[in-house]
Amino acid sequence: MTNFSGAGLAALAGFAGLGILSGGTLRAATPIVPSATTASRRPNIIVIVADDLGYADVGIQGQSKDVKTPNIDTIARNGVRFTSGYVSCPVCSPTRAGLLTGRYQQRFGHELNPPPPPATGFGLPLDQILLPQILKQAGYATAMFGKWHLGMGEGYRPWERGFDEYFGFLHGQHAYFDLTAKGGGGGPNGGDAIIKARAERNSRAEPVPSEGYLTRLFAREAVGFIGRHQAEPFFLYLPFNAVHVPLEAPKEYLDEYEGVEETKRKTMLAMLSALDEAVGQILAEVRAHGLEDDTLIFFISDNGGYAPNSSRNDPFRGFKTDLLEGGIREPFFVQWKNHIPPGQVVDSPVIQLDIFATAVAAAHAPAPADRVMDGVNLLPFLTGAQKGAVHEYLFWRFGAQKAVRHDNYKLSLTPKHGTLLIDLATDIQELQDLSKSRPEIFAELKSALDNWEKQLVPPTTVRGRNNAKGASPAKRK
């Protein structure tokens, strides 16, 4: 039984049905008609997150000829590729907070990256209910292998937030070969030691004296978990740190790209090949146990590609930290064989918040009923049971940067680029501001953004420091 604290426990007691509150409007979830496989068991759920992977850094996107991602590409070919798949923040930690709660993270103050160690008092607020907690209550075995970045102090760690098993590191980056040294990432935000923990061990974490390449080790743990839990529904969260800096790759992967002259790009591509191989091992393990029809799989990046690691976001402008498309539009693929028709390419805008709603609906688990939920269950749209746009509006706020998208129009207000009202159907590079020529559209989007902001709270971190005046749990709902 997962342990919840404060408002989280009260919210669990108030779960009701599968209704999803989206943008403040009650949205009744469309029931899933079970097939022969779902009639006997609820689906396994695997969420794979790449780190700082650009829109063009996956082969099936068709933007980069030097990319080799055959295994990742199969997820899109066997299911759906969203060409307008977004994340709710252009940096790591807030995106993960949104993914695991199904809510815009600005609603509860997790708007910015946490401060570097040893700031142990900051983390994803404990009154927020996480996807693994819901699925664990529903009888799922739960595990996470990879980068956490949602709190390092007692009470905030993965095995205290719904995961039965954990293997990884708690902060924002880590070296790929040096697995035990503090500061393994090489900078002020350097990674902590790789640790292993289980929920039943009284929250005790143990450093892991392993050797090897970190991406491979995460895959090893995931494959083992699938094998151990093949006979029961499981939730596997795999937030790899590839292809985040530092740029480090085994020689055999580097040799695959000996014709690439730019050193950074060559190393990033080698790291990407290692990530793709890891994804292939996980998919192969699912197939080996005959679980493909029983497994819902998501693949996404946490934010746009990062210029210092030579990732690419073509055809978009902007990088990680930007609210331009290059910072927030990502590879976003979903597979569930014999449930989601294969080979779909969908341009309707979706966001990583939808993973939560889709997963709880697929698992026939109840969503929180005491708070606004922003994600939407994608399954009815992917099976053809529901038509039209998934979201009427998508919103962003990242410090002084703000944006909103409605249909093909996007309004962004940022210190760097000023006011930009863009028709994304004709101006994917976001170069031609239409705010003066289309004042009615500007007014509509600005009003929607203002109304959304009224529902938010101040960030709980400001310029890397804890904000003691952050919103109370009651106000964060």
Note the pLDDT of residue 128: 97
The pLDDT assigned to 461 comes to 67
pLDDT at 342: 97
Say whether pLDDT at 1 is over 80: no
Does pTM top 0.85 for this prediction?
yes
Strands 85-86, 350-351: pairing is parallel
Q: How confident is the model at residue 30 (pLDDT cuts 50, 70, 90)?
A: very low
- Judge whether 92 counts as a catalytic residue: yes
Q: Which residues pair with 405 in a beta bridge?
A: 394, 410
pLDDT > 90: percent of the chain: 78
466 pLDDT above the threshold of 50 = no
Contact present, 46 and 403 (Cβ < 8 Å): no
- On the question of pLDDT at 138 being above 60, the answer is yes
Instruction: Return the pLDDT at 211.
Output: 81
Q: Which of 200-209, 251-260, 399-408 has the lowest mean pLDDT?
A: 200-209
User: Which of the listed ranges 3-17, 136-150, 195-209 does the model predict with the highest average pLDDT?
Assistant: 136-150
Q: For the segment 240-252, what is each residue's pLDDT rounded down to a tens digit?
A: 999 999 999 999 9
According to DSSP, residue 42 is labeled P
pLDDT at site 119: 63
Q: Under a CB-based contact definition with an 8 Å cutoff, are residues 468 and 461 in contact?
A: no
> pLDDT-derived band of residue 34, with 50, 70 and 90 as boundaries?
very low
pLDDT at 29: 32
Q: How high is the pLDDT of residue 410? A: 98
Strands 394-398 and 85-86, how do they pair?
A: unpaired
Task: For residue 169, list its beta bridge partners.
Answer: 147
Known active-site residue 406: no
Class of domain 394-476: alpha beta
Active-site annotation holder among 89, 110, 149, 406: 149
pLDDT digits (tens, 9 = 90+) for 148-195: 999 988 899 999 999 999 999 998 999 999 887 554 444 544 557 899
394-476 has the same fold as 22-383: no
| HSE-CB for 375 with a 13 A CA cutoff | 31
Across all residues in the chain, what is the average pLDDT?
Answer: 87
Q: Which residue has the higher pLDDT, 181 or 304?
A: 304
Q: Which of 89, 92, 174, 229 is catalytic?
A: 92
Hey, what CATH topology would domain 22-383 get? Answer: Alkaline Phosphatase, subunit A (3.40.720)
Q: Within 10 Å of residue 361's Cβ, how many Cβ atoms?
A: 22
Instruction: Describe the crossing of helices 263-288 and 70-77 by its angle, rounded to 10 degrees.
Output: 50
Cβ atoms of 149 and 105 closer than 8 Å? no
Residue 463 has pLDDT above 70, yes or no: no
pLDDT at 186: 45
Kind plus residue range of the DSSP H or E element containing 461: strand 461-462
pLDDT-based confidence at residue 117 (cuts at 50, 70, 90)? confident
Neighbours of 284 (CB within 10 A): 12
Looking at 5-19, 71-85, 399-413, which range is the least confident one? 5-19
Report pLDDT for 193. 82
Return the pLDDT at 109.
Answer: 95
Judged against a pLDDT cut of 90, whether residue 41 lies above it is answered with no
**Residue boundaries of the structural domains of the chain:** 22-383, 394-476
Q: Which helix (H) or strand (E) holds 411?
A: strand 409-414
Residue-level pLDDT at 206: 78
What is the rounded average pLDDT of the residues 123-135?
96
Find the distance separating the first CA and the last CA of the chain, reported in whole Å. 24
Task: Give the pLDDT confidence of 246-303 residue by residue, as tens digits.
Answer: 999 999 999 999 999 999 999 999 999 999 999 999 999 999 999 999 999 999 999 9
**184: its two tokens:** 């393994």
